[in-house]
Chains A and B, each alone.
Chain A
Amino acid sequence: MSLQELDANRFEEIIYDNCEPCLVIFRRKTCHVCKEVVPILEELQPQYEGKFGFYYVDAEEVKSLLQRFSLKGVPQILFFNEGEYRGKLAGKIEEETIEEKIAEVLGA
Chain B
Amino acid sequence: MVNSYDLIIIGGGPAGLSAAIYGGRAKLKTLVINKGTIGGLADTTREIVNYPGYIQVSGPDLMKDFQKHAKHFNVEFLKEEVISVDFSQEDKLIKTKKGKEFSAKAVIVACGSEPRILNIPGEKTLRGSGVAYCATCDAEFFEGEDVVVVGSGDQAIEEGMYITKFARKVTVIVLHDEGILDCNKVSAERAFNNGKMEFIWNSTIEEVLGKENVEGVKIKNIKTGTSSQLICQGIFFFVGMIPSTHFLKDSGLEIEKSGYIPANDRMETNLEGIYAVGDNRVKYLRQVVSAAGDGATAAVAAERYIAELKDFNANILKNDKKILLLFFNVLINESLEFSTLLERLISENGDEYKIFKVDMATKKHLAGKYEIGKVPAVVVLDKGNVIKRLDCSMDKEKLKSQLF
Contact = CB atoms under 8 A, between A and B. Distances in A.
Interface in A11-31: 28, 30-31
Interface stretch (B105-113, B136-144, B326-334, B335-343): B136-144
B137 A72 contact: no
Contacts of A36: 36-37
Contacts of A102: none
Interface of A: 28, 30-36, 39, 66, 70-74, 76, 88, 90-91
10 contacts: A30-B137, A31-B138, A33-B134, A35-B36, A39-B79, A72-B214, A74-B138, A90-B127, A90-B129, A91-B128
Interface string B227-240: 00000011000000
A20 B380 CA distance: 73
B136 A72 contact: no
B160 interface: no
B11 interface: no
B265 interface: no
B98 to A, nearest CB: 10
B43 A72 contact: no
Contacts of A35: 36-37
B130 interface: yes
B36 A73 contact: no
Contacts of A71: 128-129, 141
A76 B141 CA distance: 13
Main secondary structure of the interface of B (DSSP, over half): mixed
B189 to A, nearest CB: 27
Contacts of B43: 32
A91 B133 CA distance: 9
Nearest to B43: A32
Contacts of B127: 73, 90-91
B37 A32 contact: yes
A35 to B, nearest CB: 5
Nearest to B115: A92
